[in-house]
Amino acid sequence: MRTSHRYGAAPDQEGELWLPSGNGPHPVAVLIHGGFWRARHRLDLMDALAADLQARGLAAWNLEYRRIGAGGGWPATFVDVAAGVDALTVIADAHHLDVTRMVVAGHSAGGHLALWTAARATLPHDAPGASPRLRPRLAIALAGVCDLVAAAERRLGDRAAIELMGASPEAAPDAYALASPAARLPLGVPQLLVHGTADDSVPVDVSERYQAAATAAGDRCRLLRLPGVDHFALIDPGSDAWRLTADEIGAALS
């Protein structure tokens, strides 16, 4: 079963819940799509992964959010992701969800948002997205933009991080300190990074540097470095990269 649920009044403040068969309670994988935070990409990028998780007996919460060009950016995109994840507590009883068993996984810019979701408990009480109702057991970044400052300095995605934040890191250091997972370490949540060495959208060294920093800060952070794998193979449900990821999700939710 696949149903849509709203967590706000804006058109993109919605998610799709993919429920497996059986009575539950079902553990939940939150999926956050990428596309460098821009409006031309939508949650359907993750439909095939949601279907695969559903077939594995897991619930998938495929999240949409306001993006650049559609009311998004700092802080609206972050407010939406926080509200969308917390909305699971509202729909949990009606759909027999076990939200104590929850992981969050995102691809590319969605990988950044997945790690940021895990970082919410580190935020000051008055920051966008602070005081989460839920914390994931595991945060997974698939070719994730783990460090917004580095992404801005390297102009990844044609200056996408600067578009997201509305300014450069030099002009808005306080905002980047709240928005970048690399600036929030340690997150206090186990993390898994999956990245291909043939990725020409988000270079693999972005994850390598983040993993080193997270480990040094005391977090449990693993990197699956996949030789010869490109950016989009990670969201192909028939790929070895996704099978490895899905197995990690299943293990975390067992």
Q: Residue 6's pLDDT band (boundaries 50, 70, 90)? A: very high
User: Where are the alpha helices (H) located in 105-203, listed in sequence order?
Assistant: 109-119, 148-153, 156-165, 173-179, 181-184
- What is the pLDDT averaged over residues 134-152? 98
CATH of 2-253, one of 3.30.750.200, 3.40.50.1820, 3.40.50.970, 3.40.190.10: 3.40.50.1820
Place of tokens 């998004």: 72
Closest Cα to residue 155, out of 144, 169, 142, 138? 169
Q: Residue 239's pLDDT band (boundaries 50, 70, 90)? A: very high
Task: Read off the pTM.
Answer: 0.98
145-163: pLDDT as tens digits = 999 999 999 999 999 999 9
Q: 53, 60 in Cβ contact below 8 A?
A: yes
58-99: pLDDT as tens digits = 999 999 999 999 999 999 999 999 999 999 999 999 999 999
User: Where are the alpha helices (H) located in the chain, listed in sequence order?
Assistant: 47-55, 76-86, 88-91, 109-119, 148-153, 156-165, 173-179, 181-184, 204-217, 240-253
Measured distance CA(143)–CA(28) in Å, rounded: 21
Note the Cα 28 to chain centre separation in Å. Answer: 14
Give the pLDDT of residue 81: 98
Cis upstream peptide for 132 (omega within 30°): no
Mean model confidence pLDDT for the chain: 98
Give me the phi and psi of 250, to 5 degrees please. -60, -40
Measured distance CA(26)–CA(61) in Å, rounded: 11
Give the pLDDT of residue 241: 96
Helix axis angle for 109-119 and 76-86, nearest 10°, is 70
